[in-house]
Structure 1
């Protein structure tokens, strides 16, 4: 495939670099110095700047005030955001809005999407399920009662839940409910403060505030439920690919920090970067980043273009997740090693990058699980 970006995609990345200039990753208290989350809310000032730069509506069509771009453009912007650890729900809100546009119908789109593109309506996604190990769609049950849906269940680790206006919740219909389709997955738009919905605070590995969303007979109007088949699978793939973009941007910034530090730190009268053991480790991490990048753009292209080929898009997303999960861990571990004790100093931002990297690694899941699923996929689709 051709990895050359279009002018519009490059313009989005350039605009993002301008918005994120001056954003400091250590501008909020360190998790090591607080008993709870690093902050109560996401960075609203930065969110407003993203809205004014039209970066919250990249994937939306012109009828909603958007640019009509694809997943590659979003990933380019996410890559820049991770370099400064931008504390905004850019991935979740953009992906949720794109799913509503693609699968939700005109009436729902007209009510939500223009406001989401302007930053007036903040969306997030409950993608972790009850435990973080099972499918998110299995954690909440949905049943139809006339013109409303009734939801029951629990979703853990919902990002930016306390700052979002609506949470996109995947839910599974009863296996015996023939009226709405047995065992189908729908996407319900839930307001965290509505009757029957409750949040319990959780704190992520990165120190950011998450929410456990409990739903007890929550009633959602049928117009606020996306029933189209394949909507959750598409949204989940976009979220995973966007997380890979975050891992890539974070890894690139960490490797640059390591290069700058080892180029200045001297031992025996020479910069430690000139030592072969240091150079080889840094080179290995550079290779990791290039593999993360190549697999990311392949996955983003497949999602954005709808191309399927012999294997479904899941195969490319799985490969990108394998490289991102393993790669970002190796990059930050090597950075900590080459920084020595200085890397653990909470006055130096590397510790926050390490914490965010661990959060991203856990969000992506273990590489071995995707390797197994990829093997099953290849067995089911012989290439010969």
Structure 2
């Protein structure tokens, strides 16, 4: 079987490399250097560059201005963004737009909204704090019928880019327990934001909803589960890109850092640790592509297991092999470590995914 990427997928990855080539991972002051330093907004110039390169909506249908590519192409772009810690809501906007296209393309105003997303004029985020774990974020918000519409009550925590997004896609549960997805404009009456900060030092928010009337509601069976799987796979792609960048930094440092007259990369103990992390990354990669291709629950669980544990092991080994230099806040490794911890927490503990995988296998036995 041929596992190489298609020409279109490879072209998307190359275009992403070109757009992200000028991004500096240390462009924003780190909270480790300047206490309380948190950027007010995401990287708007970079966002415009992504739109100009047709990368924001590459996975959306051509009728909305997208390129009609698949989830693998989207993950290739996400991987490149994580290599440089790009501060853009690419995963959240892309996943939310895909859900709207899949389950609500016929809703009034949806087509126009998706076109604006592709052009970079409309930014989406997803309020799904437990999106990649085994607890359902939909239970945090209730959705009740009000005449011909809906009203939302509740709160979602740790919503990325909430202060900058134009709308939030909120999972909620109806009276019968059915999960729904509600698109809520950021300026909707009854919606308030409470500032939070992620472990990576990025601005987040608790989104509070009090009798909020959403712009539209996706109540199709499986919509929330599908969105959660896409967010999980996208987070695995970010973990892979970050891990590959960190291992590259570590290899370059180990080949130049000398002890006892030799580069430390020539020491067996160092080489074995680096080789173990290379194996982690290859496992993260193969399980990611399998999950992105199938979106099967078991495949997604396996990808999350490897990504959650793998990205943690990669940055820990990098810190160890860098020695004291790795903890120097003038060096960018500490920023990669902080982002890796955020991704690990977003994915949830590997043990929980192993438990979920066991339950899936038992149910099929």
Q: Do both proteins adopt the same fold according to a TM-score greater than 0.5, normalized to the shorter chain?
A: yes
State the 4+ residue runs in structure 1 displaced beyond 6 angstroms: none
TM norm structure 1: 0.93
Q: What's the counterpart of residue 212 of structure 2?
A: 218
Measure how far apart 1:37 and its partner are. 4.8
Secondary structure of the residue aligned to 1:152 is: strand
Measure how far apart 1:82 and its partner are. 0.3
2:237 to 242, 245, 252: 245
Residues 226-262 of structure 1: CA distance to partner in whole angstroms, max 9, x if unpaired? Answer: 1111111111000000000000000000000000001
Measure how far apart 1:183 and its partner are. 1.3
- Partners of 1:254 and 1:227 lie apart in 2 by 41
Measure how far apart 1:34 and its partner are. 3.0
Task: Give ranges in structure 1 of 5+ residues lacking alignment.
Answer: 175-181, 304-312
After superposition, residues 10-25 of structure 1 pair within 5 angstroms as: 10-25=10-25
Measure how far apart 1:36 and its partner are. 2.7
2:223 to 200, 224, 231: 231
After superposition, residues 37-76 of structure 1 pair within 5 angstroms as: 37-76=37-76
1:92 aligns with 2:92: yes
1:139 aligns with 2:140: yes
- Partners of 2:181 and 2:288 lie apart in 1 by 26
Q: Is 2:184–2:213's contact at 8 Å kept on the other side of the alignment?
A: no
Q: Is 2:185–2:214's contact at 8 Å kept on the other side of the alignment?
A: no
- Partners of 1:255 and 1:35 lie apart in 2 by 28
Q: How many residues align?
A: 363
1:276 to 263, 268, 274: 268
Q: Is 2:160–2:204's contact at 8 Å kept on the other side of the alignment?
A: yes
- Partners of 1:277 and 1:302 lie apart in 2 by 38
- Partners of 1:192 and 1:116 lie apart in 2 by 15
Measure how far apart 1:147 and its partner are. 2.2
After superposition, residues 263-302 of structure 1 pair within 5 angstroms as: 263-302=255-294
Q: What's the counterpart of residue 165 of structure 2?
A: 164
- Partners of 1:225 and 1:252 lie apart in 2 by 38
Measure how far apart 1:2 and its partner are. 4.1
- Partners of 1:97 and 1:244 lie apart in 2 by 19
Residues 291-311 of structure 1: CA distance to partner in whole angstroms, max 9, x if unpaired? Answer: 0000000000003xxxxxxxx
Secondary structure of the residue aligned to 2:74 is: helix
Q: Is 2:134–2:356's contact at 8 Å kept on the other side of the alignment?
A: no
1:338 to 317, 321, 331: 321
TM norm structure 2: 0.97
1:350 aligns with 2:333: yes
RMSD between aligned alpha carbons? 1.3
Task: Give ranges in structure 2 of 5+ residues lacking alignment.
Answer: none
